[in-house]
Amino acid sequence: MSQKGLPHHTPAIGIHLAMFPDDLEQLPNLAEELWYVTEDQDQIGTSALKIWKTSSGRFLRLEYFDGTKFWLDIQGKHIWATWPDNLTLEDTSTYLLGPVLGLLLRLRGVTCLHASAVSFGNYAVAFIGSEGAGKSTTAAALARQGCAIISDDVVALAETDNVFYVHPAYPYLCLWPESVASIYGSPEALPRFSPAYDKRCLSLERQGLNFEARTLPLKAIYILEERRSDPAPVIEPLADQSALLALVANTFATNVLDRAMRAEEFKLLGRLVPRTKIRKVFPHRDVDRLPDLCRAIREDVEGPNDELPGRLDIAGTE
């Protein structure tokens, strides 16, 4: 949408709110094939997310347990969204600005890690791990120590001249109440994204924290493992084969990839592993030891062998 007197720019993505694709209105009985069902369920056993593919192959339809729906064209150029009367645009945005846009990137062929990322100077550092491992929590704690947030939940990668880069996302973090309590002392220290969503919104601007708007070369990936007692936190090196398997297991929305896309992603991650510092991290089970974890990560990032192979001059990176 453009306004008179302002330059017109072709949008990278068309987002259509409170509407669905015109094709579906013209062909209301267009057949669909159930493509994906998440294992997560609510208290009455309803799947958190189901994804259908239309028989024409033109669209994916996502339906969340609360009735919020999204349609994505298979080329990854447009998103349509509708939601029930009892929900709001803010509720819908919690899906749109995270998993839905992440899925769209995958449709475009972009490899994405299910991760959070921060900047250390002119380099990006990412954190991956299972659900609840502390990816966003670790990023938030480092942000309070001066690091800038690059992305949360979805880390989009790009390869240029044998160097891997991380694209910036949005200037906020999504934290569970327990994480907010461990960092700020109380789960009520940060507001909810919406009344219907228990996660809290850490707005970088409101908290006086930094957002990294540059695309930066990826220097290190830390895999957050199970929490331990002393001598944790511990950081351990990882053999290339184990590192590759860990990355494959922690890519975002792998269910949308066909066989050819999976093969290309495997090759890309295989090129990434030998060019990136990849470590296992065992945090301390005492949440009050989070500063110790940040200190250990900082020392490892800034330690020996800290130069990226290949291109070292990143002047002019945007």
Please give the pLDDT value at position 27: 58
- Is the CB of residue 81 less than 8 Å from the CB of residue 68? yes
Inside any domain, residue 310: no
Which single residue is written with the structure tokens 């390869």? 159
Say if residue 118 is in the same domain as residue 240. Answer: yes
Please give the pLDDT value at position 315: 31
Inside any domain, residue 158: yes
**Containing structural domain, residue 63:** 14-107
Say if residue 163 is in the same domain as residue 116. Answer: yes
Please give the pLDDT value at position 107: 87
Say if residue 176 is in the same domain as residue 284. Answer: yes
Inside any domain, residue 314: no
Count of structural domains within the chain: 2
**Token duo for residue 1:** 């949408």
Which tens digits make up the pLDDT trace of 208-234?
999 999 999 999 999 999 999 999 999
Look at residues 220, 224, 268, 275 and name the one whose alpha carbon lies nearest to residue 246: 224
Say if residue 80 is in the same domain as residue 166. Answer: no
Please give the pLDDT value at position 277: 95
Say if residue 120 is in the same domain as residue 174. Answer: yes
Say if residue 222 is in the same domain as residue 93. Answer: no
Please give the pLDDT value at position 31: 79
For the chain, the maximum distance between any two Cα atoms, rounded to a whole number of angstroms, is: 64
What is the CATH number for 237? 3.40.50
Say if residue 116 is in the same domain as residue 222. Answer: yes
Which tens digits make up the pLDDT trace of 31-78?
788 888 887 666 677 788 899 988 677 889 999 989 999 999 988 899
Say if residue 123 is in the same domain as residue 205. Answer: yes
Reported as half-sphere exposure (CB side, CA atoms, 13 A), residue 51 has a value of 18
Inside any domain, residue 278: yes
Say if residue 133 is in the same domain as residue 264. Answer: yes
Inside any domain, residue 80: yes
Inside any domain, residue 279: yes
Say if residue 273 is in the same domain as residue 197. Answer: yes
Which residues make Cβ contacts (< 8 Å) with residue 206, sequence separation at least 6?
none
Say if residue 48 is in the same domain as residue 160. Answer: no
How far is 317 from 183, CA to CA, in rounded Å? 32
Say if residue 61 is in the same domain as residue 120. Answer: no
> Which of 107, 137, 163 is a domain's end point?
107
Please give the pLDDT value at position 94: 86
Look at residues 198, 226, 64, 199 and name the one whose alpha carbon lies nearest to residue 136: 199
In order along its 318 residues, the chain shows pLDDT tens digits of: 333 343 445 568 899 999 988 766 665 566 788 888 887 666 677 788 899 988 677 889 999 989 999 999 988 899 999 999 999 998 898 899 888 999 999 888 899 999 999 999 999 999 999 988 999 999 999 999 999 999 999 999 999 999 999 999 999 999 999 999 999 999 999 998 877 778 899 999 999 999 999 999 999 999 999 999 999 999 999 999 999 999 999 998 887 777 888 899 999 999 999 999 999 999 999 988 999 999 999 999 988 754 444 333 333 333
How far is 48 from 107, CA to CA, in rounded Å? 21
pTM, full prediction: 0.84
Inside any domain, residue 53: yes
Inside any domain, residue 309: no
